[in-house]
Amino acid sequence: MTSPAAIPEKMTAVAISSPGGPMVLKPERRDVPTPEAGEILIEVKAAGVNRPDVFQRQGAYPPPPGASDLPGLEVAGIVAALGEGATRWRVGDKVCALTPGGGYAEYATVHESNALPIPSGFTFTEAAALPETFFTVWHNVFERGGLKSGETFLVHGGSSGIGTTAIQLASAFGARVLTTAGSADKCGACEKLGADRAINYRTEDFVAVVKEVTEGKGANVILDMVGGDYVARNYTAAAIEGRIVQIATLGGAVGTTDFSKLMMKRLVHTGSTLRPRTVEVKAGIAAALEAQVWPLLAARRVAPVMDMIFPLREAWRAHERMEEGDHIGKIVLDVA
Ligand SMILES: NC(=O)c1ccc[n+]([C@@H]2O[C@H](COP(=O)([O-])OP(=O)(O)OC[C@H]3O[C@@H](n4cnc5c(N)ncnc54)[C@H](OP(=O)(O)O)[C@@H]3O)[C@@H](O)[C@H]2O)c1
């Protein structure tokens, strides 16, 4: 390990003291992790908060084997040390990274290939808001869903961290963007971000609106985090040869649908979860993002939507905010 900077033995981290509500998130002293071969140690300046962290805190989303038990799937900070054979970064570089866990801490380790440079002009808190949603949206919307310029894209939960990223990227790559959200304010925010039409699902039927604005054709790609009774409705809202990509089941993991639509429309219904994927798969997504999306970030054509920032020690407040459901965009922890 190469480490010219002074690295303390202990750090402050926020751990899940036992499964439960936000108050089980407690600061504690931990050993600073040591980077293994190919890894870097990051002095964390900010960490993103994501819905999967809430599920982990509740005991419903255990970390994959070998990952830290601390929550936190994304960080931004300064490279503090290099593991054996790690050559991509130098100590002192500013990076943001996708972590398999362990982000709610003053130091975190990550494979060097799962880190990206902080886009120029971005603060640490903005950079910490990027990896989880940008990796997820890129992989699911563009790699799995194959969204192309000129196609119609529907994303459910448009005001979420994932949704605000999906709206901006789909719009930047030339798609017509439709989205659903649960209030007029959230719909307004989605349209400001580039959605051509935001549908308040509490007052409108998204299937009818999608049909109306596409002159009966339907959406070519649908990114869905709801599941449940949305599965059948997505099959109706999808275009011929449509691709439906499932990334969560917030509305229920079980649904009933008319599978004849799958055949008649030649639909593809796929899905994925990012966290358990291999370092190599994540490295491939990182490389695609750096080539195709990082220039858009540097030009501020795309930027994370920042909801609120809380100090690391008050991570419980960040979780409370997320569970109240009023946030628009990303919630971030300030670790500095
Ligand atoms: N598969 C993957 O690789 C992957 C990776 C990252 C995240 N995810 C998932 O993607 C989803 C969004 O993540 P995020 O971090 O962006 O979370 P988030 O900001 O909290 O967004 C959740 C959104 O879902 C909407 N929603 C619809 N039905 C809901 C329900 N029954 N309960 C709660 N919210 C509901 C909410 O919008 P309204 O108020 O408008 O309903 C809210 O904006 C989460 O389910 C997360 O687990 C999946």
Residue 4 has pLDDT above 90, yes or no: no
What pLDDT shows up at residue 5? 56
3-class DSSP state of 298: helix
**What value does the mean pLDDT of the chain take?**
97
Residue 2 banded pLDDT, cuts 50, 70, 90 = very low
What pLDDT shows up at residue 162? 98
Strand residues in the chain grouped as ranges (E) = 10-16, 25-31, 39-49, 74-82, 94-98, 107-111, 115-117, 152-155, 176-181, 197-200, 219-224, 238-246, 268-271, 306-311, 330-334
- Ligand 1 closest atom vs CA 272: 1
- Ligand 1 closest atom vs CA 251: 31
Ligand 1 centroid vs 309 CA: distance in angstroms? Answer: 19
For residue range 279-291, list pLDDT tens digits in order.
999 999 999 999 9
User: Quick one: average pLDDT of 94-109?
Assistant: 98
Ligand 1 centroid vs 98 CA: distance in angstroms? Answer: 18
User: Quick one: average pLDDT of 14-22?
Assistant: 98
Residue 294 has pLDDT above 50, yes or no: yes
For residue range 226-273, list pLDDT tens digits in order.
999 999 999 999 999 999 999 999 999 999 999 999 999 999 999 999
For residue range 131-183, list pLDDT tens digits in order.
999 999 999 999 999 999 999 999 999 999 999 999 999 999 999 999 999 99
What pLDDT shows up at residue 336? 82
